[in-house]
Amino acid sequence: MATLQENPLLEGLQLRRTPDPCALVIFGASGDLTKKKLFPALYSLAFRRLLPDKFAIVGVARTTESDEEFKARMKEAVQQHGRDEFREEAWDALTDGLRYIATDFADERGEDELAQTLAELDEERGTGGNRVYYLAIPPSVFPTVVDALGRRRSAEGWTRLIIEKPFGHDLESARALNAEIQKHFTEEEVFRIDHYLGKETVQNMLALRFANGIFEPIWNRQFVDHVQITVAESIGIEGRAGYYEQSGAIRDIFQNHLLQLLAITAMEPPIDFTADSVRNEKVKVLRALHTPGPKSVVRGQYGRGFVEGEEVLGYREEEGVDPRSMTETYVAAKLYVDNWRWADTPFYVRMGKRLPRRETVVAIEFKRAPHPPFEEISADGLRPNVLLVHIQPDEGVSLEIGAKVPGQGMTIRTVHMDFLYGGTFRTGMPEAYERLILDAMLGDATLFTRTDEVEEQWKLVDAMVAPWKRDRPSFPNYAAGTWGPPSADDLLRRDGRSWRHH
Ligand code: BG6
Annotated catalytic residue within 195, 257, 290, 371 = 257
Residue nearest to atom 9 of ligand 1 (CA): 253
User: What was the pLDDT predicted at 14?
Assistant: 52
Pairing state of beta strands 330-337 and 346-352?
antiparallel
Distance CA 285, CA 280 (A): 9
For residues 408-421, average pLDDT: 88
Residue nearest to atom 2 of ligand 1 (CA): 252
Average confidence score pLDDT of the chain = 92
Q: Does residue 189 register a pLDDT over 70?
A: yes
Tell me, using a 6 A CB cutoff, whether residue 395 lines ligand 1.
no
Q: Confidence band (pLDDT; 50, 70, 90) for 200?
A: very high
User: What was the pLDDT predicted at 152?
Assistant: 87
Q: Does residue 369 register a pLDDT over 60?
A: yes
CB atoms within 10 A of CB 133: 24
User: What was the pLDDT predicted at 476?
Assistant: 98
Tell me, using a 6 A CB cutoff, whether residue 455 lines ligand 1.
no
Q: What residues contact residue 175 under an 8 Å CB cut-off, 6+ apart?
A: 168, 455
At residue 282, what is the residue type? K
Residue 466 DSSP label: G
Buried/exposed 407-424: b ≥16 CB within 10 Å, e otherwise? eeeeebebeeeeeebeee
Whether the ω angle into residue 166 lies within 30 degrees of 0, i.e. cis, is yes
> Among the atoms of ligand 1, which is closest to the Cα of residue 235?
10
Distance CA 484, CA 475 (A): 12
The answer to whether residue 390 is catalytic is no
Buried/exposed 365-374: b ≥16 CB within 10 Å, e otherwise? bbeeeeeeee
Q: What percent of the chain is predicted at pLDDT more than 90? A: 83
Tell me, using a 6 A CB cutoff, whether residue 252 lines ligand 1.
yes
Tell me, using a 6 A CB cutoff, whether residue 194 lines ligand 1.
no
Closest CA to 350 of 413, 443, 266, 257: 257
CB atoms within 10 A of CB 104: 13
Q: How do residues 277-320 score in pLDDT, each as one tens digit? A: 999 999 999 999 999 999 999 999 999 999 999 999 999 999 99
Q: Which residue has the higher pLDDT, 342 or 369?
A: 342
Q: Confidence band (pLDDT; 50, 70, 90) for 1?
A: very low
| pTM reported for the whole predicted model | 0.94
Closest CA to 429 of 392, 399, 398: 392
Residue nearest to atom 14 of ligand 1 (CA): 196
Q: How do residues 64-123 score in pLDDT, each as one tens digit? A: 999 999 999 999 999 999 999 999 999 999 999 899 999 987 778 889 999 999 999 999
Opening angle at CA 297, ends 231 and 501, nearest 5: 45
DSSP string over 175-228: HHHHHHHHHH--GGGEEE--GGGGSHHHHHHHHHHHS-TTTGGGSSTTTEEEEE
Residue nearest to atom 4 of ligand 1 (CA): 253
Packed helices 88-95 and 67-81: angle between N→C axes, nearest 10 degrees: 140
Tell me, using a 6 A CB cutoff, whether residue 233 lines ligand 1.
yes
Cβ atoms of 227 and 384 within 8 Å: the answer is no
Question: Residue 253 C-alpha to ligand 1 middle, in angstroms?
Answer: 7
Q: Does residue 438 register a pLDDT over 70?
A: yes
Cβ atoms of 402 and 413 within 8 Å: the answer is yes
User: What was the pLDDT predicted at 15?
Assistant: 54
User: What was the pLDDT predicted at 375?
Assistant: 65
